[in-house]
Amino acid sequence: MLTVDSEELPGSMVAGDRRQLVKARHRFTARILGTVAALVIVALLALPVLAQAPAPTVTFSGTFDQITSAGRNFYDGNYTRDNDREWYARTRFRPDFIFEVGRTRAVLGLEIDLNYGQTGSNDGGFPGNNSGTACGFVGGCKNAGSAGGGLDLNTDVAGLFEVKWAYTEFDLTGKNSLLPFIPFMTVARVGAQPFANIATHKVYYASGDFAGLSLDTTFTSELRNNLAFVIVEDQLAGGNRSIATARTSRGEDYAFILSPEINLMKGLDLKPLYSWFHADGVTSFTARRNATNVRTVSAGGADSGGMNSAGAQGGGNAAGDSTSHEDRHTIGLDARWRVGSFGLDPTIAYQTGTYDTQAQRSNGQIARVKGEMAAWLFDILGSYQLGPLLLEARGLYSTGNKARDNLSLSKHYFEPLDTDTLFWIGWGSFFALGAVDYFNGGAGANRGMSTQVGYDRYGRAQLGLRVTHSITPALKVYGVVTPAWTAEKVDTGAGCPALNAATTNLGCPALVTVNDKSWDKGESSYLGTDLTFGTTWRFAANAALDMNVAYLFAGPALSLTELQNGVAVKKDARDAYVGALRVRFSY
């Protein structure tokens, strides 16, 4: 600031000039204060701009599939009757909508499946379908277990949106999180979500979708951990007020999954697994195989009820008895080893636990029986990349029960929580889900080999060889050969449920009792050999044409017994074939 000492000025100048200097000093001070005030205002205005949240974004991705497929003698799951055949076409639209603000996001995944043409007795979908059933009746719709309908003339189909995912993902721990005082990063996901690699790398235990909570924690670049709480079936307040055998609720069914991811060294990753599954009464068929047991009580009070039926779980009530419990523990290890062009993916898993069923004891009494489970699964995949040629070999063994075993006392077959029919997908078309037309070769056609690993109660042993040649980056061809056996011999004195138009597309997920000779003794283990050839041509950006043809050389273990005019007749299995063509557009 400018200062002047008045004693240094002549006396005649002191009074007037002093006033001028004071005014100048005031003007200078005002300018300085004005400048500072302007800077402060600008800074205050800028603070909200600097601190505002990232801009919200909405993106979407997904696929359109247009598929046609034809085949014979595997749709109904009965390989001894070859009059089941079809040639049909369908479409699937699978969009995911992603809503994001910074690192927080929500995902809505939808799925729509539609047949070409009306394929049921009533109009496909709603409101034209007065029966309230997809495609008019269950047998009239491909993939009737999910949303499905028929695109008939004028193609107006309503009410067929299927919600796959609806979850929110956010930072639970770490910097700028809900719990920032915990130093390592944890991403939480709440809602309907995919299992992805929460439990395993390879599909063998939990690989579909679920509702619940998952936590992905990163400790170091070499160590992560996945923890999930899976709600299988929930019990609401009004559903548990009656006695246990008359409740509308099926109890509280849930699972916990703990699965670290360990990078042991360069090229070697380990993924241990521990999971506890608890079920009350009847539970999801994907989590418990409904294998027939002659000592298990059916809803009618006698004979061969399934292990996941209302009778087996108590009381004959549709929900079973919620005081009938199962506690299953699964311990597993996935590994991935990569050395140059060589790859090895071994898997080992063991299940143990206890379960309750209503069964007939040796003294003729029907009472609750506690059984014990002990099952093993071994699966190893080896690969070698030789230029454009990929060679892969795979082996599988899972334990099973003998034909005469009382399943109410012991189970030795492996039961995943949920594979969503994806077990061994791409390794054949009959003993696994078809890779091109993924509605064929599922649980009903192969006794649960694509959903619950083994063939019925008998376990599984299988070899596979797959050769893939990339002729160009856009064109590849492949071939798969995979013979299959059961771990324990199959009693071909059992059969499939009676076939009719309403159940033909449900197939034969479990063998059933035909007469008193069923479940007497095992006779054969060889299921047959699945031979598949296919090609993928990426003919345009984000568009691919997939085609495959497959043939099953049926083995004697696929033979069945059938009642004809009240007489049990054993019938030999016959070969089957299928071909599929798909145009996929991804965006």
Q: Return the residue matching tokens 């009642």.
A: 563
Average pLDDT over residues 87-116: 93
Lowest mean pLDDT among 300-304, 318-322, 397-401, 452-456: 300-304
Q: Return the residue matching tokens 């923890």.
A: 227
Lowest mean pLDDT among 9-18, 398-407, 411-420, 544-553: 9-18
By C-alpha distance, which of 499, 484, 508 is closest to 563?
499
Residues 6+ apart with CB under 8 A from 315: 244, 245, 246, 321, 358
C-beta of residue 321 within 8 angstroms of C-beta of residue 315: yes
Over pLDDT 70: what percentage of the chain? 81
Per-residue pLDDT at 12: 44
Per-residue pLDDT at 17: 55
The per-residue pLDDT for range 187-222, each reduced to its tens digit, is 999 999 999 999 999 999 999 999 999 999 999 999
Average pLDDT over residues 103-124: 84
pLDDT band at 123 (very low <50, low <70, confident <90, very high): low
The per-residue pLDDT for range 245-272, each reduced to its tens digit, is 677 778 899 999 999 999 999 999 999 9
Q: Helix (H, G, I), strand (E, B), or coil: what is residue 87?
A: strand
Mean pLDDT, the chain, as a whole number? Answer: 85
Q: How many CB atoms lie within 10 A of CB 355?
A: 22
End-to-end CA, the chain: 68
pLDDT band at 10 (very low <50, low <70, confident <90, very high): very low
Encoding tokens for residue 532?
Answer: 């598949």
Spatial distance between the Cα atoms of 367 and 247, rounded to a whole number of angstroms: 20
By C-alpha distance, which of 512, 582, 499, 517 is closest to 548?
582
The per-residue pLDDT for range 477-501, each reduced to its tens digit, is 999 999 999 999 999 999 988 765 5
Is the per-residue pLDDT at 4 higher than 60?
no
Spatial distance between the Cα atoms of 30 and 36, rounded to a whole number of angstroms: 10
Q: Return the residue matching tokens 């596979």.
A: 464
Over pLDDT 90: what percentage of the chain? 62
Encoding tokens for residue 314?
Answer: 């108590």
Query: How many helices and strands, by DSSP H and E, does the chain display?
Result: 2, 22
The per-residue pLDDT for range 13-63, each reduced to its tens digit, is 445 555 555 555 556 555 655 555 554 554 445 445 445 678 999 999 999
Spatial distance between the Cα atoms of 474 and 572, rounded to a whole number of angstroms: 43
SS3 assignment for 240-281: HCCCHHHCCCCCCEEEEEEEEEEEEECCEEEEEEEEEEEEEC
pLDDT band at 129 (very low <50, low <70, confident <90, very high): low
C-beta of residue 416 within 8 angstroms of C-beta of residue 423: yes
Residue 224 host element (H or E): strand 223-233
Per-residue pLDDT at 2: 40
SS3 assignment for 122-182: CCCCECCCCCCCCCCCHHHCCCCCCCCEEECCCCCCECCCEEEEEEEEEEEECCCCCECCC
Average pLDDT over residues 561-575: 92
Give pTM, 2 decimals. 0.86
Lowest mean pLDDT among 24-28, 71-75, 132-136, 176-180: 132-136
The per-residue b/e assignment along 569-582, b for 16 or more CB within 10 angstroms, e otherwise, is eebebbebbbbbbb
Q: Return the residue matching tokens 């109890």.
A: 251
